[in-house]
Amino acid sequence: MPQPPTNLAASEVTPNSVTLTWASGNAEPVQSYIIQYKPTHSPDEYSNIAGVMNTQYKVSSIEANTAYEFRIIAVNDAGLSQPSMPLHVTTSKGRLIRLAECNISTLHYLARVLQIFTVGKCDVM
């Protein structure tokens, strides 16, 4: 069986994504990795991203301002490793923009570009 990956770390934390890096932790070749994640303290099972071929991966489409637990599993011909030590990361809150004069098309454009939502008449959060 492969050894669990080591040195799991996060960089580029945004409201909706986290870039993870790790070390293989194995002398034998690793065919792929499985990234597991879930909101911290959630009773739900982990979400899995299988078939990851590198030791860096951007996990997208996660919730803003949320604490997550991430772990990595190595895969080779002998099977699956135990999960890596967990990494706890909290996504950022996002941005607040106040516009003096509201233009609804500008608000919709900003919401799409910044991956945020509109609140009220003139605020984009």
Taking residues 36-43, report their average pLDDT.
94
Say which residue, 98 or 34, is predicted with more confidence. Answer: 34
For residues 59 and 98, give the distance between their C-alpha atoms in angstroms, rounded to a whole number.
29
Tell me, rounded to whole angstroms, the distance of Cα 108 from its chain centroid. Answer: 25
Alpha carbon distance 24, 33 (integer Å): 9
**Confidence (pTM):** 0.74
Q: How confident is the model at residue 111 (pLDDT cuts 50, 70, 90)?
A: low
User: d(Cα 107, Cα 43) in Å, to the nearest integer?
Assistant: 37
User: For residue 96, what pLDDT band results from cuts at 50, 70 and 90?
Assistant: very low
pLDDT over 70, % of the chain: 74
Domains of the chain in start order, with CATH, are 6-90 (2.60.40.10), 95-125 (no CATH)
- Least confidently predicted of 31-35, 54-58, 63-67, 117-121: 117-121
Q: Looking at residue 27, what is its pLDDT?
A: 86
Helix (H) or strand (E) run with residue 107 in it = helix 104-114
For the stretch 115-125, pLDDT in tens is 544 444 444 44
Q: What is the mean pLDDT of residues 101-123?
A: 54
